[in-house]
Amino acid sequence: MRQQLAHVLEQVLRRNPGEQEFHQAVVEVFDSLEPVLRKNPQYVDAAVLERLCEPERQLIFRVPWVDDAGTVHTNRGFRVEYNSALGPYKGGLRFHPSVYLGIVKFLGFEQVFKNALTGMPIGGGKGGSDFDPRGRSQGEVMRFCQSFMTELYRHLGEHTDVPAGDIGVGGREIGYLFGQYKRITNRYESGVLTGKGLTWGGSLVRTEATGYGTVLFAERMLQNRGTSFDGRRVVVSGSGNVAQYAIQKAQQLGGHVVACSDSTGYVLDERGIDLDLLQQTREVERLPVSIYAERRGATFVPGRRVWEVGAQVALPCATQNELDEDSAAALVRSGVIAVAEGANMPTTPSAVALLRDAGVLFGPGKAANAGGVATSALEMQQNASRDSWSFEYTEERLAGIMHSIHDRCLATADEYEAPGNYVVGANIAGFTKVADAMLALGVV
């Protein structure tokens, strides 16, 4: 079975040259699968691995738009519809200069397993563009989104492919995208996008869901070890949507959150992060965290990573590969007991190994940050039934899903003789659910 895995991996590397993030995501899953293939040779016979590593559809398209000065720009748009064995493709859109096909494929591959872990009937996909919304006017963002959707709309549908937001795509962008979809199709299909505004088909808790879910997963890990967030010192990377609501939920559970960050550096606020001020600075005024520090009287450390701040719980909520081996070592020295990934693959493989070897509880992103897509699926349910649920009921559903994901990962790790290894548990539980569905549907 090891030889079979090596053969498929060689194929992936050869057919997807230069896509390092995608390679990393595949290797991370493959590292867990040898005992699964030994126990289930039917997966090998049906070439499930080979098919799973090849997206069902990869879309690349031109996105021309005009800025406020009348200058024409051309960006590149992507949508990778990765796997629909469990349901319609589901996954966010990312607008960031770093976006290229390899990033979108890595995110789509991760999304397949993440969505499977939720237990909801949704497949995996991802998309985005190398457009940077930072510094652009409302009109420029609107025109870009309209151009992007003018091409993408033909591939979407509530039973086909349902995008949501990701880095650079929040409620504003989802609104512009949905408006253009409605204009082109002449149909009010609320279920074709999630993360919508509450007054036009959105769901309560969706804004908070990824950050909340990450902390709920971390809390479940801590409870399994006989402790909790209460009184724990917490650091969070990032200061966008996921980070903000991870901070909020950690504070609600008694955690003392002392640091957050952005691309310019990090803030150390020993009094505890003032979430209202952070949201005003970052979400409303769209200013860097250095301005938060200035207004709060906190310390801003430019050009450095938040992981050098000592903490017992660390929540990486920014971007891929932000927590490397040196940063993990610093966290271990500071006494960290739990790390839960709010972002997608934010921890490098060597850092994960170091944390695991040190006995640190580690919640991988495909499990720990699945709350966002789970609540997107709940939004789809509400749209399909023309219904709207209360905040309390939706949050209760989210908590139940996150606890179920945690428990399934833990039980699967035990079954495959890797007790307490959430990485192995998440990879195997997600893989077997998708693989069984692929077998049932035949060679398609």
pLDDT tens, position by position, 41-56:
999 999 999 999 999 9
Q: Where are the beta strands (DSSP E) in 246-364?
A: 256-262, 265-268, 299-302, 313-316, 338-340, 361-363
Q: Is the pLDDT of residue 180 over 90?
A: yes
Kindly state the percentage of the chain with pLDDT values over 90: 98
pLDDT tens, position by position, 200-223:
999 999 999 999 999 999 999 999
What span, in angstroms and rounded, lies between the C-alpha atoms of 24 and 287? 33
Contact 92, 56 (CB under 8 A): no
What residue has token string 């279920």? 191
pLDDT the model gives residue 231: 96
pLDDT tens, position by position, 70-86:
999 999 999 999 999 99
What are the percentages of helix, strand and coil residues in the chain, rounded to 5?
A: 50, 15, 30
pLDDT tens, position by position, 292-313:
999 999 999 999 999 999 899 9
Contact 9, 29 (CB under 8 A): no
pTM equals 0.94
Question: What residues contact 408, with CB distance under 8 A and at least 6 apart?
Answer: 117, 425, 429
Please report how many Cα atoms fall inside a 13 Å half-sphere around the Cα of residue 150, on the Cβ side: 10
pLDDT tens, position by position, 219-241:
999 999 999 999 999 999 999 99
What span, in angstroms and rounded, lies between the C-alpha atoms of 27 and 33? 10
Domains and CATH numbers, the chain: 55-187 (3.40.50.10860), 209-368 (3.40.50.720)
**138: three-class secondary structure by DSSP:** helix
What residue has token string 């799973």? 52
Contact 73, 45 (CB under 8 A): no
What span, in angstroms and rounded, lies between the C-alpha atoms of 271 and 315? 19
pLDDT tens, position by position, 403-443:
999 999 999 999 999 999 999 999 999 999 999 999 999 99
Determine phi and psi for 21, rounding to 5 degrees: -65, -40
Give catalytic residues, as residue numbers. 126
**183: three-class secondary structure by DSSP:** helix
pLDDT the model gives residue 2: 83
Rounded to the nearest integer, the mean pLDDT of the chain is: 97
Kindly calculate the radius of gyration of the chain based on its CA atoms and give it in whole angstroms: 21
Q: Is the pLDDT of residue 316 over 80?
A: yes
pLDDT the model gives residue 332: 97
What span, in angstroms and rounded, lies between the C-alpha atoms of 94 and 77? 10
Determine phi and psi for 157, rounding to 5 degrees: 165, 150
How many angstroms from the chain centroid is the CA of residue 88?
18
Burial class (CB in 10 A: 0-12, 13-18, 19+), 228: middle
Q: What is the mean pLDDT of residues 171-178?
A: 96
Token pair of 109 as six digits? 């591959």
Strand-pair partners of 316: 237
Q: Is the pLDDT of residue 384 over 80?
A: yes
pLDDT the model gives residue 3: 87
Alpha helices for 225-313 (secondary structure H): 241-252, 275-279, 289-296
Contact 255, 406 (CB under 8 A): no
Contact 371, 349 (CB under 8 A): no
**168: three-class secondary structure by DSSP:** coil
Q: What is the mean pLDDT of residues 107-131?
A: 98
pLDDT band at 360 (very low <50, low <70, confident <90, very high): very high
Token pair of 238 as six digits? 């990032």
Strand-pair partners of 166: 169
Nearest one of 313, 329, 307 to 220, comparing CA atoms: 313
**Which amino acid would we find at residue 170?**
G
